[in-house]
Chain A
Amino acid sequence: MRKVIMGNHALSYGAMLSRAQVIAAYPITPQTQVVELLSEMCADGILNAKFIKVESEHSAMAACLGASLAGARTFTATSAQGLALMHEMLHWAAGGRMPVVMGNINRALAPGWSIWTDQNDSLSERDTGWIQFYCSSNQEVLDTVIQAYKVSEKLMIPSMIILDAFALSHTYEVVEIPEQEKVDAYLPPFNPPFRLTPEDPHAFGGLTSPDHYMELRYKLQKDMEKVPDLVEETGREYEKMFGRYLGQVEEYLCADAELVFVTSGTAGYTARVAVDELREKGLKVGNLRIKLFRPFPFKKVREILTRVPKVAVLDRNLSYGHHGIFYQEVKSALYGQPNQPVIFGFVAGLGGRDITRESFKEIADYALKHDRAEEEIVWIGVKK
């Protein structure tokens, strides 16, 4: 069935089709429609789930974790301040190996109050042990929720599905809603290797001494390292069943490019249009949209970017006092590689300022003119 839906509703449909059993959420702009639709689905009986209408995001994640540990499939969604409030519980989810799937609408953090998109909220949670997927279309949002459950539950690591505020959350697109039976065939019911049950009582999360803590975290990292291949495998399987491949990255005309943009989220979509326009002018550019950000898809990124002479990383985020975060990560991935390209870092679109095709033209212009970046950060569209 094809439907014209907003990005937020794509999250709701994804959770519904995945048969989420416990949903605990707290409203925040621009996430509200995600939970409004899920509330309706629960009320109408379309979705057989318990919806816990908690009093904060912190409690939302806490409740999801309790439910997950009790053996239920869980879902929540939030944004910016809400995600920041959840921070403690995000560590809890990953360290406790509870495969919650959550939607996060990228929104800039206050102050001043902003409801518009930027990635600092989710990137501030980079090191919490969550899998992070940055999406660029509503279809991708819906499909990735389903895939994320499959990946998360196999490895017992939580996943975050990330989409830009308004640019995607409130944008209506045509979305193919998969059939429930087919989704059921793709995604079996949640059957965790351990759970809270009086029949086999265990204490979860007790005091863990230096004798043990490190090995548990080593295991988490080892399982994280399995994610890229599993995304590949489950993405191919999804393609077979639903006709849409879900990968770690999206490569667009990179093979012969002299300059490749590295983008994420909706900027990656804009970049593709810009690439077409620049190519018409005879400029050999391409775009690499990073979808899977955690764990970082080292192999894919290296494979693609060591074939090109120049790389321009666009960040809609900033690690204050350092660089844009994707820029840091791409540089780190390419460090010491044979055929390392020249890498430029651009920061644009903070707090919801538009990233347009013109932005990419500006980026291309700078990157093609320079042999190396003259500034640590090249700012796009800032009134200096």
Chain B
Amino acid sequence: MAEATANGLGQHTLHGAQAHDAAATGIAPAEVHQEHPIRLYLVVWVWLFILSACSYLVDYVGLQGYLRWSLILIFMMLKAGLIVAVFMHMAWERLALTYAIILPPILVLVFVAMMVFESDYTLLTRTLFFGAEP
């Protein structure tokens, strides 16, 4: 019973029969295991190594300015995405959980924008009062 067909996304998500749960409640809660081929993890592992090496090279080569910052951000987001999607199995969860966990941190960007204005203002007042760099 409860052979995990409940997970609409899961070609990879297999056999999740929580038999004792089902027996206890008399209804199948259809909780599923996350089980994927080992090969997938190895591929992601290699990619994380490559991306880390790339972001280290950004510093080693000494790129500066917007090129440096955008490359750092791109490699960071790719790494974070791989870890959350594959290692933490978010890619195979239902959207209800994904949105509940992923959306709130994105709203932190509003806080970031607020603090950018605040820091600019602080820097302005400091510069006006103390003069430029000491």
Q: A and B: real partners? A: no
Footprint of A on B, CB under 8 Å?
none
Q: What is A's interface to B at a CB cutoff of 8 Å? A: none
